[in-house]
Amino acid sequence: MTIQTIATTPFAGQRPGTSGLRKKVTEFQQPGYLENFVEAIFLTLGDCSGRTLVLGGDGRFFNREAVQTILRMAAAHKVAKVLVGRGGILSTPAVSCVIRKHGANGGIVLSASHNPGGPDGDFGIKYNIENGGPAPEKITEAIFAHTLTVNAYRISDAGPVDLDRIGTTQLEDMQVEVIDPVADYAELMERLFDFDAIRALFSKGFRMRFDGMSAVSGPYAKAIIEGMLGAPAGTVINGEPREDFGGHHPDPNPVNAAELVALMDGADAPDFGAASDGDGDRNMIVGRRLAVSPSDSLAIIAANATLAPGYRAGLTGIARSMPTSQAADRVAAALGIPCYETPTGWKYFGNLLDAGMATLCGEESYGTGSDHIREKDGLWAVLFWLNLLAATGKSVNQLVEEHWARFGRNYYSRHDYEAVDAEAADQMMGALRGKLAELPGQDLGGYTVQLADDFVYTDPVDNSVATRQGVRIVMTDGSRVVLRLSGTGTEGATVRIYLERYEADPARHGLDTQAALAPLIAIAEQLSALKARTGRQQPSVVT
């Protein structure tokens, strides 16, 4: 075994996006592409001697190969120890959990989250810091800077590590410990939630369907929901991780989890439906004929949090991303705690969680989580709902409707225009930004504009500033239209339009969401001229 120094030249486009570097598998398969990025991570970390890292991914195509390469590079960079999930598998929340529990210095997550997998699909890599959360921009930018100048990488020429056997082996001077990917995570969940009450619920015949979407959360859901909580076998469907996710698009929303939604709409619907995404950090909550909007889910969890043992002491604060609906703000106001508004991207929650300023966080993009780790956590949200259902004896629908009756309903929808010509999208956003100054005070489609800006966030902990985080047009009644370009797409640009309208009157809580938002949809088109600029007549996905 020797450590080699291999000459390389930089690849363009290795700047991490909202959630690490995501590209087509074919791009990652170019000789040196993965190695350059990993070298840039190690150059950013500096001296790694004595350090412990965690490594794992969602099991998609190229996962195993990437794990072996990264292990050989970690050894060459004098890392003392790497904890790697058996089979190279660790969900994103499990990586965060393992980093924190074992006091590791950081970790590498291999995933492109909900993006399709397989040889023609996507792959991704991101670095998490010692608090278990995604690296802040300061670090991702430093990694990017190194990718521009990297001219060599170091790698051991050792053979592959056996990833399928639990235990410790040696690679150069580095220890590789293959761990059970589920154990630490399951133990944490058992401390946060009332497993006895949930077990009792299942023993009374409560029926649930969890769709693992052939991605990483299957083994976790099986071990916890069917194993520890006693739900009948078959409760978890699509529970085996597959390299191509069985050809599915593992993004838990009513469009991609159509099978689950159809089941919950049917005559023989179980009591509760849920799904998670490729790497296990997203969640979708479904009642009978009701897909709970992620923004509502955050607000409902917040309003009822003290029913779960891990949150009995109450919440210090709530944080949501800017485009997420303001439903959580109303709960925070009622609880007398602050609600923080951050840019899109889980990394922006890290400082608030570390400082103890927020306990719960959530995003409209089907992400919910808390200070138990530093990633969003799909199964955690599902277990939280199970805990609420067990503690109250109510159904999903009852919890949602009672919440609206108490706090009012924030009608909410997101319209995505995927794989749009990037230049047209940039020009559209540029033109929109140019109009913002003149909008306040204007009447638009029955609304009066109160505020129009491009969201700027100043982190209250370290005072770092993030600019250009999305155009928001806020009306005098709190209704909003938000437009931004996705930071996670891999093809052209994805335009996201977020629409929100508040309705206090319970008599009007049963409207069709798209109909309720129609005037705001028209305002978005009027201001952006999206149809003319992109040639698109319809959104590709509506959630």
Catalytic site positions: 113
365 in contact with ligand G6P (CB under 6 A): yes
Distance CA 443, CA 450 (A): 10
Residue 279 contact partner, candidates Zn ion, ligand G6P, none, CB within 5 to 8 A by sort of partner = Zn ion
Residue 532 structure tokens: 């003319």
326 in contact with ligand G6P (CB under 6 A): no
Partner in contact with 18, chosen from Zn ion, ligand G6P, none, beta carbon below 5 to 8 Å by kind: ligand G6P
Between 57 and 96, how does the x/- string for binding to ligand G6P read (CB under 6 A)? ----------------------------------------
Q: Can you list the alpha helix ranges (DSSP code H) found in 436-535?
A: 513-516, 518-528, 530-534
Please report whether residue 324 would count as binding ligand G6P according to CB under 6 A.
no
DSSP type of residue 432 = H
Q: Residue 93, SS3?
A: helix
The residue with tokens 């599915």 is 248
Binding of ligand G6P by 367 (CB under 6 A): yes
> What is the footprint of Zn ion within residues 6-65 (CB under 5 A)?
none
Determine contact, residues 189/379, Cβ cutoff 8 Å: yes
Q: Does 277 bind Zn ion (CB under 5 A)?
A: yes
For every residue of 261-316, DSSP letters joined together read HHHHHSTT--SEEEEE-TTS-BEEEEETTEEEPHHHHHHHHHHTGGGSGGGTT--S
Residue selected from 63, 140, 344, 410 as contacting ligand G6P according to rule CB under 6 A? 344
Q: 253 burial class (0-12, 13-18, 19+ CB within 10 angstroms)?
A: buried
> Between 346 and 407, whose beta carbon lies closer to ligand G6P?
346
Angle (CA) 147-365-419 rounded to 5° is 60
Query: CB under 6 A: which stretch of 125-133, 138-146, 288-296, 362-370 binds ligand G6P?
Result: 362-370
From 14, 18, 140, 543, residue interacting with ligand G6P (rule: CB under 6 A): 18
Residue 287 vs 367, nearer CB to ligand G6P: 367
367 binds, among ligand G6P, Zn ion, none (CB under 5 to 8 A by kind): ligand G6P
Give the three-state DSSP class for 252.
coil
Beta carbons of 466 and 349 less than 8 angstroms apart: no
- Cβ at position 282, least distance to Zn ion in Å: 5
User: Stretches 140-148, 251-259, 281-289, 351-359: which one binds Zn ion (CB under 5 A)?
Assistant: 281-289
Q: Are 403 and 302 in contact (CB under 8 A)?
A: no
Nearer to ligand G6P among residue 219 and residue 345 (C-beta): 345
Q: Measured from the CB atom, is 274 or 319 closer to ligand G6P? A: 319
Q: What is the CA radius of gyration of the chain?
A: 23
Closest Cα partner for 129 from 20, 17, 279? 20
Q: Does 496 bind ligand G6P (CB under 6 A)?
A: yes
> Would you count residue 329 as binding ligand G6P (CB under 6 A)?
no
Decide if residue 281 touches Zn ion (CB under 5 A): yes
Size of site (CB under 5 A) for Zn ion: 5
279 interacts with Zn ion by CB under 5 A: yes
**Which of 235, 365 has the CB closer to ligand G6P?**
365
* Least spacing, CB of residue 433 vs ligand G6P, in Å: 18
Out of ligand G6P, Zn ion, none, what residue 363 binds, judged by CB under 5 to 8 A for its kind, is ligand G6P
Question: In DSSP terms, which residues pair with 420 in a beta bridge?
Answer: 493
Is residue 486 at the binding interface for ligand G6P, with CB under 6 A as the rule? yes
Our finding on whether 380 is near ligand G6P (CB under 6 A) is no
Is residue 345 involved in binding ligand G6P (CB under 6 A)? yes
Report the first-to-last Cα separation within the chain, whole angstroms.
52
If the CB atoms of residues 273 and 278 are measured against ligand G6P, the closer one turns out to be 278
* Least distance CB 346 / ligand G6P (angstroms): 4
Please enumerate in sequence order all residues whose Cβ is within 8 A of that of 168, keeping only pairs 6 or more positions apart, or say none.
175, 176, 177, 178
Spatial contact of 363 and 239, defined as CB atoms under 8 Å apart: no
Burial 153-189 (b: 16+ CB within 10 A, else e): bbbbebeebebeeeeeeebbebebebbebbebbbebb
- Smallest gap, in angstroms, from Cβ of residue 487 to ligand G6P? 4
Work out whether strand 360-363 and strand 339-342 pair parallel, antiparallel, or are unpaired: unpaired
Q: What does the block give as tokens for 144?
A: 């990017």
Q: How far is the CB of 251 from Zn ion (least distance, A)?
A: 8
Candidates 78-86, 161-169, 249-257, 340-348 — which segment interacts with ligand G6P by CB under 6 A?
A: 340-348
Contacting residues toward Zn ion, per CB under 5 A? 113, 277, 279, 281-282
Contacting residues toward ligand G6P, per CB under 6 A? 18-19, 113, 321, 344-346, 363, 365, 367, 486-488, 496
